[in-house]
Every structure is written in C-alpha cells, then in structure tokens.
Amino acid sequence: MTQLPRLLTLSPQDNVAIALDDLAAGDVVGQDSLTLVQSVARGHKVAIAPIAAGRNVLRYGQIIGQATADIAAGEHVHVHNLGMGEHAQDYAHASEATELNAATDARTFDGYHRADGRVGTRNYLGILTSVNCSGSVAKFIAEAAEKSGLLDDFPNIDGIVPITHGTGCGMSGENEGYDTLFRTLAGYAQHPNFGGILLIGLGCEVMQVSALVGGRPIRADGALRYMTIQHEGGTRKTIEKGLTELRGIAELANAATRQPAPISHLMVGMQCGGSDGYSGITANPALGVASDMLVQHGGTTILSETSEIYGAEHLLTRRASSVEVGEKLIDRVRWWEDYTARNKGEMDNNPSPGNKRGGLTTILEKSLGAVAKSGSALLTDVYLFAEKIDKRGFVFMDSPGFDPCSVTGQIASGANLIVFTTGRGSVSGYMPTPCIKIATNSEMYARMADDMDVNCGDIISEGVSLHDKGAEIFEMFIRIASGEQTKSEDLGFGGVEFVPWQIGAVM
Amino acid sequence: MTQLPRLLTLSPQDNVAIALDDLAAGDVVGQDSLTLVQSVARGHKVAIAPIAAGRNVLRYGQIIGQATADIAAGEHVHVHNLGMGEHAQDYAHASEATELNAATDARTFDGYHRADGRVGTRNYLGILTSVNCSGSVAKFIAEAAEKSGLLDDFPNIDGIVPITHGTGCGMSGENEGYDTLFRTLAGYAQHPNFGGILLIGLGCEVMQVSALVGGRPIRADGALRYMTIQHEGGTRKTIEKGLTELRGIAELANAATRQPAPISHLMVGMQCGGSDGYSGITANPALGVASDMLVQHGGTTILSETSEIYGAEHLLTRRASSVEVGEKLIDRVRWWEDYTARNKGEMDNNPSPGNKRGGLTTILEKSLGAVAKSGSALLTDVYLFAEKIDKRGFVFMDSPGFDPCSVTGQIASGANLIVFTTGRGSVSGYMPTPCIKIATNSEMYARMADDMDVNCGDIISEGVSLHDKGAEIFEMFIRIASGEQTKSEDLGFGGVEFVPWQIGAVM
Ligand SMILES: [Ca+2]
Ligand SMILES: [Ca+2]
Ligand SMILES: [Ca+2]
Ligand SMILES: [Ca+2]
Ligand SMILES: [Ca+2]
C-alpha cells in the first residue's frame, strides 16, 4: 500500500480539495500530481486549479465563498484568501429545482401496514404521558406488564415503551409552546411504529388528555385507550386498570405481521451529533448519496437542525420545489432569529476558533457540512417541528440542533427510521424508531464498535467511494426497516431520549 | 352530630369567614349565631362583622382588599363589594419582622451525618448525568448493579438512583440557563441524601463533566467518581467500569449509619400542586403551623413557586428580616415579569373564572392561599433556583410553579424533606428526598389513600384545629426524616421527576 499523502475531492466541480494528511511544501499529491506551494494541515483546503480573485470557491459543488486574492493550484485556501460576498444572501427560490431521476428498480421492505395507510418498521405498544406527573405511573404499568409476562401471549409485539418527559404543565395552554408539545404527543400517539397506545394523564395538567383524544379518532385502528390517575383514584388503581387496557390494545397490535411494502413508505430522519472534522467529508456526504437513492425510490428523507444549517439556507431555497416552499424555509429561519434574540442569544453558526484550526473557513462551508446529508434532491416541503409529514421526497422539518429533541420532532412527524452521523461518538436510541449510527472516522468506529452500525471512516482510510458508501447505507435502511436490529436497539436504548422541544417560559 | 351549615374563620383577626356548605338567606351560622342576609355558596366569603366602605377585608389575618361598599354582618363578600386599592403595592420591607419564640424542647431525628456538616434523611447512591445523551447509560449501570446484587454487600445503602433529564446540550455555555443547570447538577452531586455519586457524561456536551467536578472537591467525603462514555469507548465499556466505580463509592457510603441529629438539620421544601378550593383553607395553613414549629426548633422551610405567590409578595417583604432580603425577593419578581414578557406571556395570577366561582375574589386572596404554607415566621433570606441554602429559618427559593421543576430546585438547594399539599391528588416522588403528600380534602384522601400521607380534610369534616393538624405534620417530618417511608417511596416513585428548569432557547 502506498504511503503518499493524499487529497479528497468531494465533487468533480470543486476547485479545492481536502488534505487527508499534514502536507508539506513540495509534496506531490492527488490524481493530477499537484505540487504543494506551502504546507497545509490535515482537514484544510488546497486549490486544485487556479482561482482568480473574486471567483467562487467550490466545495461539494457548492459555493463556500469567493477568492479574496489570486490563488494558484497547490496553494492553501483559508481565511487569508477566502471570504464571503453578499451574493450568498440571494435565496433564488426554486432556481435549481431539478428532480432526480426515478429509480428503475422496485425495492421493498417488510413492515407493518397500518389502518391509516402508513407502514411501521417496528410494532411496539406505547404508554404515552401527557405530563411529567404521570410518567412514573406509565413506567409502573410497563414494569407490571413485564413482570406479569403479558407479552408472552402476543409474540408479534416488539415490546412496551413508556414515553415520559419533563413538561405538560407549568405552561400556557394557548401559545406555540403548547401547540408544539401537542403536535409531538399527537404524532407519537399516531405513529406507525406503535401497534397501540395507552395514554396516561394525571388529571389537572395543562396538557389535557381530553384535548389530545378529543374531536377525532386519533388512531384509525382504534388501538388507543386513555385514563387519568385522578379519575381512577390513584397509582395502584391506575396500574391495575392500565394492565387490563394494555391487554386489550395488545390483542389489536398482535394481529399485525410484517408484509412487503414499497420503500416509498420509508421516512428517514437524518441527524448529525457530536460532529468532528470528518463529518462534512465522509459520513454526511455519504448519507447524502443514500438520501438521494431513497428519494429516487419514492421515499422520504428529513433534514432538520435549523440552527446547524443557518448560513446555508440559500442552498436549500435554490433546491426548493417552488417559491412558496423556499419562503417557508426562510420564515423558519426568521422565526429562529427572533427566538434566539428574545432569549438573549443570537444565531451564530460561524466557524469557531477550533473549527478554523480544523480547516473550516466560512459559515457557508460549515453549514454545508450539515446540509451535505441531504444530497441533491429537490426540497419538496418545509414542516414545523413535529408536524405530520404528508409529502414524499426530501423535506425539511424545523428543529433545534440538540439531537434528542430534533429526533423527537422527526419521529412525531412520522419518521420510521433515524440515521445519525457522529464523529465524537454519540450513543443513544429513540424508541419506537430504530436509529442507525454512522461513524465519520475509523478510529472512533474501532473504539466504539458496540455502538456504531456503519463506518464511513473507510472513505479516507481505504479510499471507499462516497457512492459505494451511500449504497451501503441505503441497503442498511432496508434491512433495519425490515426488522434487523441496530446496535442501540440491542443495547436497550430509548428509555430517556423522548425530549419534546420546550418553547417559552416554565411557569 | 348536628347538621347545621357551618362557617370557617381562618384567623381571629378576620372580618370574613368561609362557607363550608351552601348557605341560604336566613340561615343562622357560626359561633356568634350570624343570620345570613343572602345565599352564599360553599367556599365563598361571609362578613362576620360590619365592614364600612373603604375598610380592609381580612382573611388569614391578612388584607385581601378593601370594601367597595358598606357591608353588613351576614352579607356575601365577593367581586360586587370587595376590590383592591393601591396600598397593596407598599412592600414595607421588614416592617413586620418579628422572630418567633424559640422552642423550649430539643427534638432530634435519626439521620446520616455527612463530612460537610449536613445531615441526610436517606442514604442513596446517585448516578448523575451531565446531559440527556448519557441518561440511558446511567440507567444501564443501575440495572446492571441491581442484576449483579451489588447492594447485597452494602446493607446501609437505600438504593441506586439514576438522575436523568432532557438537557445539558443544545444550549449556550454562558448564560443564566447554563448557570441554573450547573447549580442544579452541583446541588445534587453534593446532596446529603446521597452517600456517593457516580457522574456520567457523554463527552462532547455543553455541560462538561470537567466543569462540574473542576476547581474544588465537589464532595467533602470524596465519594464522587466520574467518567465520559466517549473517553471510555462506548456503552459496554462504560457500564463495566461504572460498576467498578460504583462499588468503590458504595464502600464509602455504606459506612454511614443513622445517628441522632438536632432537627435544626431538617430543611423542608414546601410545595402545593393540583390545588383546589380547600388548599388555602385546610392543608396550606396547617402546613404553615408546621413550618412555624420547625422554624422555632431551628430548622429550615423553603417556600417557592414565584408565579403562584405573585400579587402577594408584599406580605413576604413585610416579614423579611431586612430591607435587603425584601429587595432580593422583589428582584426575583421583576426578573419573572421580564422572563414571561420576553416569552410573549405575562405574569397573571389573578383568580380565573373558575377560581371566582369557587369564591376567590382578588389576586391577594388567591396568592395568600399559597403563601399560607409559610406560616408567620421571619423571612431570613431569598435564594436563586438551586442555589445552596446556607441560612436557617423560613426562606424563599425562586422557582416556577410547575411542581417537579420547583421540587428539583429545592432538592438541589439542599432540601432533605419535601412536603406537598394537593387537592386534586398529585402522585409523584423525588428521589433522593422523601416527599410527604398532604390531602386538602377528605373525599380525595379516601379515594387516593394509597398515595396520600396526611389528610387535612378533617379540619372541615371533623373540626380538627389548624394547630393540631400542624403538630401532626410536624411530627411526621421527624418520623419520615428518621427513615419511615412515605407512600410515594413505598410505590417506587422518583424515576422521572428530576426536571431542571430549562431557561432560554434550545439550540
Ligand atoms: Ca446536532
Ligand atoms: Ca450534539
Ligand atoms: Ca442532531
Ligand atoms: Ca404548583
Ligand atoms: Ca409545586
């Protein structure tokens, strides 16, 4: 094996490439035998063609800024010769709205077909709670069910999942914080990965059980029952009745079996957490390839974490399917600017000193690393946090960058699969939806192999192509959706990771 | 037993009393054989002496407003003849700062004497988490310890308590939200009800383990160990090492045994949740008697829930030990006005239409119901949420009214006992601190006897005096502090009720 220092070019259109090792002046690197003009540290950019002052610098085939001086091939490209002009603020809504070619093969996964037309990738019973104050009782019911061997009679059910959280009261009953929590709980109550739901309230909370179940059949299959602790007369009586209700729901849920479904029924929430310098060059662009493949097969992928794409929103508006969709995204960006300002903060996704030492120069470049997860597909729609996603293709759902919170919103919106890239090594799971963990680098993958499902470090360590890696991830989507367990499912994660987005004052 | 309709007078200075039944015009009620001028619904107020227009109306011996018309004895007093003048805004700091007489008897409880001079009422091992992302692993360690029978060798330890939550990342690292969470986690790490702490982080979170343990010995007894999942190399390795660390901590914690301690070492967090029309006339004033008794014995009681005392803050400022202490309270009230305003809400503790139907007329009267828990003792100091309480006597700790959040702050501040009045029937427990539940009415107590420790409904149903009921609660403080189990401990509560106050934007 050759030991030459190497470069990674992320897109054929790029005029810069990434140093995969510390390079010295005079080193000859890359397919085109480029000679380094000066030393360039690992992770930093090298010009692979001459770039005249004022011309665009391209990475991932995307503009990350403009040359502020003439740059020769082989020169280091960073803050001294790369800046951002004003053109970045041009949203150019829908100007690059090109649909991907549809796939020519019809792929399927084995899933649970639900009465509302959606398809689940798991078949859990959920014990959902309206408020923190009913959380312990939900757990007691799950524990009592386990102790009594209730599921022994229902082999088609994957398990019982209590969904507990820290809110539901001490809040206004009529603001966006309430609406957001309401959507989140309703989304879980209706989620296709649940074969049935037992909803438990305390009774006096702001988030009333009657509001959650009122006015419409919340599940088309009728597999939802509810109760409040105050109405039942306390903890022990609620547990006792809860076990009876759970058995009734289990009888409905157990009727479901895995049946083939077109992979257009997959809805994959994409995440990145614990990012490192490799996230934007290995795992995220490989996931972008997999996202494009799923979209070509008629499926849905969700990009979120608005605070982490801030500064690159005009890349998404250009890919918007219409001006209206582009403007919906910008509305959310404006909302975030207000949200952070009224909380005495500000939107700031600029590269930190550490980012800059690692080779990231502009906010565009940093945010591009996050946006890379979304490949090149048309942006078909933009959704609020936990809003039900009703279009296929690549979509955006607004959320914070805080991983458990963002995933919670994606699951509430309908995600039946989560895929999560990580450089530092995040360990987490999100019942009822399986979560595929993708390592950005081989060193972390080796150290944390018990927690990681896919290694994208071999894009660098073994020269695996982004396309091959994307295809590997795409195939894993189908296997996991069909029932193969992720590492975090094997380990039993998911008991604490339901984190609704709490917006507004705690009263 | 006589069936006469009855009245409840809450203080000898009062000029109104509370109807305990629906009363009709002409009914003759009360010790002074008052004749009703008109019908008065249960829970509403009756004048028990003539009140000239403009004169103060007194309930709990406190001004709840002024007569807006001449009122005859036997008349209904409500919105038609009772209003609030401007004088309520006079804080009159420290103007009624009278110390209670010290108790003449020296009482003790059996507790765990800690190296920092504090005394615990329980002896748990805590597995504390810096971030949501380490919560599942903390639970896995607790489960593995239970499965391995680790505590079989350590009979003096009450159990292992994982402390998990929904925050610790996706936040600024330098604002009051961060500072508040930091105080909360540090307060739990040092809590005297823990004989030892294992602190688990993920590694890349905003709330760094190194910051939590850095710069000072966080526990005087040295019984704290810490690790991060990313440093250890993933979930399984962290569990394995965590079990070893836990055993090391357990050896230290197991050396503690219950020994007599003066009850000046009791610090009781007072709460009310799921209030009803009886809260302000039975359980809260009875708790006020118990609070005064504990203060007379040199102990500490904590009033909180700033949003629920809003409008009656001038009652507390008058009882402040100094102008400075009174001003600290008003600073918190002003902070709350800003906090709610910037979150597009407002402070509004005015009686709701439902409150008014129940007989509450003014914001003073409503807030008085909450303040009644604090009896009549001097207010010795005012603390931030989760700030370490370092003075004895009656103190105020700022918090939301949301019960699990408010209790979390009180425990972080050092509360080794919680007492919680409830009318609707709240069920909850707050490990590591036991929580005494006090029912405001006999009907709920009978229905939820498995969850309630004390019934204050007999103040009405059997005419038990507030003084006797307060003494009963005070004696229960000592028994529970000495190891008797509360109902919520028997039931196993405490797994989900750690709810840090999340202030600011989720990023
Ligand atoms: Ca993130
Ligand atoms: Ca993160
Ligand atoms: Ca994330
Ligand atoms: Ca409350
Ligand atoms: Ca409370």
Domain of residue A63, CATH code = 2.30.130.110
Residues B411 and B475 grouped into a single domain: yes
**Would you say residue B89 lies in a domain?**
no
**Would you say residue A396 lies in a domain?**
yes
**Would you say residue A115 lies in a domain?**
no
Whole-number Å distance between alpha carbons of B12 and B61: 7
Residue B481: alpha-carbon gap to chain centroid:
16
Whole-number Å distance between alpha carbons of A3 and A21: 10
Contact B165 A166 (CB under 8 A): yes
Q: Which chain B residues are within 8 Å of A137, Cβ to Cβ? A: 427
Residues B146 and B168 grouped into a single domain: yes
Whole-number Å distance between alpha carbons of A402 and A501: 9
For residue B132, the ligand closest to its alpha carbon is: 2
Interior/surface letters B318-327, b for 16+ CB within 10 angstroms, e for the rest = bbbbeeebbb
For residue B404, the ligand closest to its alpha carbon is: 5
Residues A385 and A448 grouped into a single domain: yes
User: Whole-number mean pLDDT of chain B?
Assistant: 94
The H or E element containing residue B70 is: none
The residue count of chain B comes to: 507
Q: List all residues 6 or more positions away from B489 whose beta carbon is below 8 Å from its beta carbon.
A: B429, B434
**Would you say residue B135 lies in a domain?**
yes
**Would you say residue A503 lies in a domain?**
no
Ligand 5 centroid, distance to A70 Cα (angstroms)? 65
Residue B203 forms contact with A (CB below 8 Å): yes
Residues B147 and B285 grouped into a single domain: no
For residue B304, the ligand closest to its alpha carbon is: 5
The answer on pLDDT for B393 being more than 60 is yes
Residues A235 and A330 grouped into a single domain: no
Pick among B350, B487, B496, B503 to test the A interface (most A CBs inside 10 A): B496
Residue B20: alpha-carbon gap to chain centroid:
27
Q: List all residues 6 or more positions away from B497 whose beta carbon is below 8 Å from its beta carbon.
A: A132, A135, A136, B404, B407, B408, B428, B429, B430, B431
**What residues flank ion ligand 2 with Cβ within 5 A?**
A 273, 403
Distances B178 to A95, A132, B185, B206 between C-alpha atoms, Å:
42, 22, 11, 9
Q: Which long-range contacts (CB under 8 A, 24 or more apart) does A20-24 make?
A: A20/A460
Given this model, what pLDDT does residue B11 score? 87
Q: List all residues 6 or more positions away from B214 whose beta carbon is below 8 Å from its beta carbon.
A: none
Bridge partners of residue A159, in order along the sequence: A124
pLDDT by 10s per residue, chain A, length 507: 345 558 888 888 999 999 988 999 999 988 788 999 999 998 899 999 999 999 999 998 888 999 999 999 999 999 999 998 765 568 999 999 889 999 999 999 999 999 999 999 999 999 999 999 999 999 999 999 999 999 999 999 999 999 999 999 999 998 999 999 999 999 999 999 999 999 999 999 999 999 999 877 789 999 999 999 999 999 999 999 999 999 999 999 999 999 999 999 999 999 999 888 899 999 999 999 999 999 999 999 999 999 999 988 988 999 999 999 999 999 999 999 999 999 988 888 888 888 888 888 988 898 999 999 999 999 999 999 999 999 999 999 999 999 999 999 999 999 999 999 999 999 999 999 999 999 999 999 999 999 999 999 999 989 899 999 999 999 999 999 999 999 999 999 999 999 999 999 999
Given this model, what pLDDT does residue B5 score? 57
Given this model, what pLDDT does residue B206 score? 94
**Would you say residue B111 lies in a domain?**
no
Mean pLDDT of B123-150: 98
Whole-number Å distance between alpha carbons of A506 and B229: 31
Q: Which of B248, B253, B195 is nearest to B226 (CA)?
A: B248
The two tokens of residue A194 are 């649940």
Measured between CA atoms, the residue of chain A closest to residue B348 is A507
Give the tens place of pLDDT for each residue, B239-273: 999 999 999 999 999 999 999 999 999 999 999 99
Residue A291: alpha-carbon gap to chain centroid:
11
Do residues B228 and A426 lie in contact, with contact meaning Cβ atoms separated by under 8 Å? no
Whole-number Å distance between alpha carbons of A140 and A123: 21
Given this model, what pLDDT does residue A225 score? 97
The two tokens of residue B215 are 């710069």
At B125, give phi and psi (nearest 5°).
-95, 130
**Would you say residue B485 lies in a domain?**
yes
Measured between CA atoms, the residue of chain B closest to residue A425 is B230
Residues A33 and A137 grouped into a single domain: no
What sign results for the dihedral spanned by CA atoms B459, B461, B464, B469? negative
Ligand 5 centroid, distance to B185 Cα (angstroms)? 20
Do residues B314 and B92 lie in contact, with contact meaning Cβ atoms separated by under 8 Å? yes
Q: Choose the final residue of a domain: B253, B285, B312.
A: B253
The answer on pLDDT for B2 being more than 70 is no
Contact B203 A492 (CB under 8 A): no
The H or E element containing residue B244 is: helix B235-253
Given this model, what pLDDT does residue A88 score? 59
Q: Which long-range contacts (CB under 8 A, 24 or more apart) does A216-220 make?
A: A218/A186, A218/A189, A218/A190, A219/A115, A219/A116, A219/A189, A219/A190, A220/A114, A220/A115, A220/A116
Ligand 1 centroid, distance to A370 Cα (angstroms)? 9
Nearest CA to CA, how far is A238 from chain B (Å)?
11
Nearest CA to CA, how far is B165 from chain A (Å)?
7
Whole-number Å distance between alpha carbons of A488 and A429: 5
User: Hey, which residues 66-125 in chain B have their CB within 8 Å of chain A?
Assistant: none
CATH of residue B196: 3.40.1400
Bridge partners of residue B110, in order along the sequence: B260
Nearest CA to CA, how far is A488 from chain B (Å)?
9
Given this model, what pLDDT does residue B351 score? 85
Given this model, what pLDDT does residue A493 score? 98
Peptide bond into B432 cis (omega under 30): yes
Given this model, what pLDDT does residue B129 score? 98
Residues A236 and A279 grouped into a single domain: no
Given this model, what pLDDT does residue B4 score? 54
At A292, give phi and psi (nearest 5°).
-60, -40
Given this model, what pLDDT does residue A86 score? 63
Residues B358 and B398 grouped into a single domain: yes
| C-beta neighbour count of B426 within 10 angstroms | 28
Ligand 4 centroid, distance to B192 Cα (angstroms)? 25
The H or E element containing residue B307 is: helix B306-309
Residues A292 and A244 grouped into a single domain: no
Bridge partners of residue B393, in order along the sequence: B300
Given this model, what pLDDT does residue B215 score? 74
Q: Which chain B residues are within 8 Å of A447, Cβ to Cβ? A: 233-234
Bridge partners of residue B424, in order along the sequence: none
Ligand 3 centroid, distance to A372 Cα (angstroms)? 14
What sign results for the dihedral spanned by CA atoms A440, A444, A448, A449? positive
Q: Which chain A residues are within 8 Å of B499, Cβ to Cβ? A: 132, 166
**Would you say residue A350 lies in a domain?**
yes
- Helix segments in A425-501, DSSP class H: 442-447, 458-461, 466-481, 487-491
Ligand 3 centroid, distance to B166 Cα (angstroms)? 14
Give the tens place of pLDDT for each residue, A98-119: 899 999 999 999 999 999 999 9
Identify the three-state secondary structure at position A386. coil
Contact A274 B342 (CB under 8 A): no
CA dihedral B179→B181→B185→B191, nearest 10 degrees, is 80
Do residues B274 and B146 lie in contact, with contact meaning Cβ atoms separated by under 8 Å? no
Identify the three-state secondary structure at position B457. coil
The residue count of chain A comes to: 507
Give the domain range for residue A133.
124-253
Residues A177 and A274 grouped into a single domain: no
Given this model, what pLDDT does residue B67 score? 96
Peptide bond into A5 cis (omega under 30): no
B230, B345, B449: residue with CB nearest A425: B230
Distances A325 to A193, A384, A451, B293 between C-alpha atoms, Å:
29, 12, 37, 65
Higher pLDDT, A63 or B223: B223
User: Hey, which residues 302-331 in chain B have their CB within 8 Å of chain A?
Assistant: 307
Residues B288 and B212 grouped into a single domain: no
- DSSP secondary structure code for residue B263 in this structure: G
Given this model, what pLDDT does residue B437 score? 98
Number of domains in chain B: 3
Whole-number Å distance between alpha carbons of B424 and B452: 11
Residues A416 and A337 grouped into a single domain: yes
The H or E element containing residue A286 is: helix A283-296
What value of ipTM does the predicted structure carry?
Answer: 0.94
The answer on pLDDT for B87 being more than 60 is no
Instruction: Write a three-state SS string for A116-181.
Output: CCCEECCCEEEEEECCHHHHHHHHHHHHHHHHCCHHHHCCCCCEEEEECCCCCCCCCCCCHHHHHH
Identify the three-state secondary structure at position B482. coil
Residue A430 forms contact with B (CB below 8 Å): no
Give the tens place of pLDDT for each residue, B426-459: 999 999 999 999 999 999 999 999 999 999 999 9
Given this model, what pLDDT does residue B1 score? 39
